[in-house]
Structure 1
Amino acid sequence: MNSSEKKILIIDNDEMTIEILKFILKKEGYKISIAKDGVNALERIPIIMPDLVITTIIIPLKSGLQIISEIKQNFKNIKVIALSSLGEEENTVEEAFELGVDDFIAKPFNPNELLLRIKRFL
């Protein structure tokens, strides 16, 4: 399957992060969907069935950790990469991995590194 058939859901409420991700991922040919809060994200996942979810940890209505947990319980094939601002507690990272997150990247992130990680999953 080539990248143009792969769907990525971005869950973030930071416009700058969304724009950066949209730019680099569309350039690679991925189909992008955006959710700006956890409730909207969880409503959309069963509809769009993304191949990969990129979620920030701190997001309105439901946290990134809650989203990771629900995805990994209900949609085992969906890969999840968590983005987290530097300085968030180490136990958040540990908890994300305990919930089944596939990868974790600190913000600000290197777009090329993120792309390599995405390609590893897709």
Structure 2
Amino acid sequence: MSEPKKILLAEDNSILSLLLKFKLEKAGYNLFIAENGKEAIEIIEQHNPEIILTDIMMPYISGLEIISHVRNKLSLMTPVIVFSSAGQEEMVLNAFNLGATDFMSKPFSPNELIIRIKRLIQ
């Protein structure tokens, strides 16, 4: 049997992180959680996850800076799904310009997220 796919979740909302941790681990993924952008970059560099899930608004280093780091500094093509609250269209467009793969507006369905993840890392 193959190893579970590694996912990085960069999310500073602990309730959302716990919900997604439960759902993603139940779906068979190995989840790393970063509570801020600085932790996220450390995890990416140490564990090279198959997919990155990040909120745009994060402490220390934003989700946009995480995307830029992954694409420009590390030259990785790892899929990145970005989360954002409503009303941040400009940031979402910036995320796509920086190399985000997909976007989900908060609040979102964890089941829909799992379907999107499966499509990106098959």
Q: State the distance in 2 between where 1:110 and 1:44 align.
A: 25
How far the C-alpha of 1:53 sits from its partner, in A, is: 0.7
Q: Distance in 1 between matches of 2:71 and 2:119?
A: 18
**Do the aligned partners of 1:79 and 1:121 also contact (CA within 8 Å) in 2?**
yes
In the TM superposition, what is the alpha-carbon distance from 1:41 to its structure 2 partner? 1.1
**What secondary structure, in the 3-state scheme, does the structure 1 residue paired with 2:118 have?**
helix
Aligned to 2:44: 45
Percent identity among equivalent residues? Answer: 43
Aligned to 2:70: 71
**Number of aligned residues:** 120
Unaligned runs of 5+ in 2: none
RMSD value, Cα: 1.4
Give, in whole Å, the separation in 1 of the partners of 2:43 and 2:23.
Answer: 22
Compute the displacement of 1:75 (Å): 4.1
Aligned residue number for residue 83 of structure 1? 83
TM-score, structure 2 length as denominator?
A: 0.92
Tell me, yes or no, if the aligned pair for 1:51 and 1:77 is still in contact at 8 Å. no
- CA separation in 2, counterparts of 1:16 and 1:95? 27
Letter in 2 for 1:57: I
Residue 99 of structure 2 aligns to a residue whose secondary structure is coil
Contact 1:38/1:61 (8 A) holds in 2: yes
Q: Which runs of 5+ in 1 are unaligned?
A: none
Instruction: Give the structure 2 partner of residue 21 of structure 1.
Output: 20
Letter in 2 for 1:72: R
Q: More deviation in 5-14 or 71-80? A: 71-80
CA contact (8 A) 2:51 2:79 kept: yes
Residue 11 of structure 1 is matched in structure 2 by 10
CA displacement 1:46-69 (0-9 Å, x = unmatched): 111100010000000011100011
CA distance in 2, matches of 1:33, 1:62: 17
In structure 1, the partner of 2:30 is 31
| 8 Å Cα contact 2:84-2:104 kept in structure 1 | yes
